[in-house]
Structure 1
């Protein structure tokens, strides 16, 4: 599991009136190992789930040859205070896989403690692994820590998408959550190639200042980790897609050591930001796999 920032360590010391942190139903675990032989389909070799996570099986609906989809289900209706959920996915040599969720993740209002959503992604030589969950909706007074750790081989590719939506867009004032922190760290052969964070704590500073999200509400991020790809070509292909998205402001940055690109999208509507992130994902797919993304049929 990724390191926990000091602020969230202090939150974690707060007692809960209901089930404690890591208690029954609050310690969600999902583990999966995938492998592929030659040009055959990618197979799920091993999986383990612990409530509230559930996996019905794999889906073979992706247009990319040999790529299998894991749609992770969570029937509890959202994430509550004290929840600690972790995902670990390993794609062995040559495997191709996409991990998604059945819907958005709703982080409910809190009175104490915090919720932690942690993901560890490992991609072996020539593997292609995508982690593209639904948006994260953070409600009033909620504290949410999201951490993603990536370890990939030089010939592997890993794509990670994230869309943050403040719950105030529907019922109350935007940015009235307590604390939201999302961080990704990626390593290739033990070298740190990407370290990025979105840390929003309205009590310490207005998220709408010009140096943060300005007049926007929704934050979308896409990481395309591809050490052997042409970073300049990849960035240009993604950037060209944003010409068709007038409702958002977006940018593309090259990662250190020519290990890929990161994309940030800002908007006022979650649908606009999600569409732009999906378009950027599609552009990266075309460059890396020669085929576009699948239709969004999770619902």
Structure 2
């Protein structure tokens, strides 16, 4: 008698896509494209600071990302438009037997502005999170981008002792590379506690904004009162801010204070925090 064929192990997964577009209509920025596939959506567009800035809140209804999941997000901001994209809460990457992936492609045309301001990303111990971001700026396009990564869940006694987090980020202006970064953090690695690594801090955050500021504003940013260990570097055409923190809330507060200072100087508008950040 022949032995029964082995049963294949089935692991359910989601492949979700979201494609967004924005255009200038007189003095107003309006959505021109909103296409989705799978569990990835945006809520109704908002104008919390007037018609010039169109805000969308990106929602992933399952609430977390598991092994085998893939999220593909793209957005194009047309000439003269201004889009601000954020999220309703933390993105959670769960423990998994295989990798989960996110691809983010952003295009900002001449005269346009994009703010990419998600809330924190929590990477559970045992997760295999792989992120890739590509940003293309054209002409005098403006960008403000940040991310916050929390490894493990220290409040629950969970250290990031297994799994991995990796991220790839490229920013180009008119095809010329402005910023290239590759990160890979492996659970339990010595760099998590090393002074030349994360120094025992489970949270790290980055803010990137196009343009250059004077020495006085740079010093004001460096003296922002905060519980994080952070600093800023002015590069040609790009300002970079980084921090290490014990809690995501501390990193988030630091980024918001920098945003309040830098947005008027480099993007030309006073900072108006999205209401979703207070809920």
TM-score above 0.5, yes or no: yes
- In the TM superposition, residue 263 of structure 1 has moved relative to its aligned partner by 1.0
Match of 1:58 among 45, 48, 52: 45
Aligned to 1:247: 227
2-structure distance, mates of 1:37, 1:271? 37
| Cα distance change on mapping 1:192 and 1:75 into 2, 3 Å | same
- CA-based RMSD of the aligned residues comes to 1.9
Of 135, 143, 152 in structure 1, the residue corresponding to residue 120 of structure 2 is: 135
Contact 1:242 1:276 in 2 (8 A): no
Give 2:169's aligned residue. 184
CA deviation after TM superposition for structure 1 residue 238, in Å: 5.0
Q: Which has the higher strand share?
A: 2
Aligned residues: 270
**What is the TM-score of this pair, normalised by structure 1?**
0.84
8 Å CA contact 2:48–2:274 kept in 1: the answer is no
SS in 2 for 1:77: coil
The alignment partner of 1:277 has SS state of helix
TM-score by length of 2: 0.90
Q: 1:170 to 1:203 in 2, by over 3 A?
A: closer
Matches within 5 A, 1:103-252: 103-110=89-96, 112-224=97-209, 226=210, 229=211, 231-233=212-214, 237-252=217-232
**Larger-Rg structure:** 2
Residue 238 to residue 180, structure 1, CA distance change in 2 (3 Å) = farther
* Pick aligned residue for 2:60 from 54, 74, 90: 74
Any stretches of 5+ residues in structure 2 without a counterpart? 1-7
Written as runs of structure 1 = structure 2, the 5 A alignment for 1:273-284 is 273-284=251-262
Gaps of 5+ in 1: 1-14
Aligned to 1:35: 23
1:289 correspondence with 2:267: yes
8 Å contact from structure 1 (residues 251, 264) kept in 2: yes
User: Contact 2:213 / 2:265 at 8 angstroms: preserved in 1?
Assistant: no
After superposition, give the CA deviation of every residue in 1:222-250 in whole Å (9 maximum; x if it has no partner): 111x2xx3x242x7535523423341111
Match of 1:18 in 2: 11
